Amino acid sequence: MLDRIENLNRATHRLSDTIAHELRTPLNRMLQKIAKIEGQDDLTADLKAEMRQAIRMFDSLLDISRAEADQGTGGGLVPVDLSAVAAEVWDLYDPLAEDRGLLTEATITPHIQILGDRNLIAQVLSNLLDNAIKYCAPGDNLTLTLIPEDDRILMRVADTGPGLPDALKPEAFDRFTRAERDRSTPGHGLGLALVRAIAARHGARLTLPHTEKGFALEIRWPRLQQSD
């Protein structure tokens, strides 16, 4: 219990510092537009869009904070059919990827179970697929692999898009990490930070394997230990 409280305190302090720094600019923009908003529909639409972005950033930061606070506790984790979750999320994003002109393929071994939180696992995969679709161009490949290994379950999401610059890889999972070329693309650089926090919550291991082109991320989930 003391460890969980300590983790929560650390996460809360980090969250407070981050919010104070990162929300100042978008909130100032909103205030400036509010002063000019009367009778101007375009400004109203812009303001609503910026508010939604700020809310999404708040939600992501809170999700990261909660996952970090629960790290190592094991509480709330139950047997989950990882294969079913992966298939359901893939079925949601595959049509979006095809609409963008991506070439998609999924290899999902059925009936793989782990100890986890179904919603958080779905959030991890949704983040990875959404990022891939966002940054890939028509003709790029997007693949999802879920297979058992010796003592872990491998989930791999890979694409042949622009990838992540080598200089950014050491800080890929830090909050608000974004390549300079991506600054014009909607987002806040919180997706991989959330993936890391949720993976740690489940005792999973993250790796960024080398790829000749594009981006790949591997998550190795602990196997569900069957009782005798």
DSSP β-ladder status, 113-116 and 205-207:
unpaired
Helix (H, G, I), strand (E, B) or coil at 221: strand
Neighbours of 192 (CB within 10 A): 21
d(CA 75, CA 228): 22
| Span 43-90, pLDDT tens digits | 666 666 666 666 656 565 666 556 655 555 556 788 999 999 999 999
Helix (H, G, I), strand (E, B) or coil at 111: coil
Matching residue, tokens 């909050």? 175
pLDDT of residue 108: 97
**199 close to 205: Cβ distance less than 8 angstroms:** yes
Helix (H, G, I), strand (E, B) or coil at 188: coil
d(CA 64, CA 68): 6
Q: Quick one: tokens of 121?
A: 């696992």
pLDDT-based confidence at residue 183 (cuts at 50, 70, 90): very low
Query: Above 50 in pLDDT, residue 191?
Result: yes
Q: Quick one: tokens of 24?
A: 């100042």
Nearest to 198 by CA among 78, 107, 118, 80: 118
Query: Above 60 in pLDDT, residue 128?
Result: yes
Residue that wins the pLDDT comparison between 104 and 13: 104
**77 close to 52: Cβ distance less than 8 angstroms:** no
Residue that wins the pLDDT comparison between 228 and 128: 128
Residue that wins the pLDDT comparison between 20 and 213: 213
CA 164 to chain centre: 15
Class of domain 78-222: alpha beta
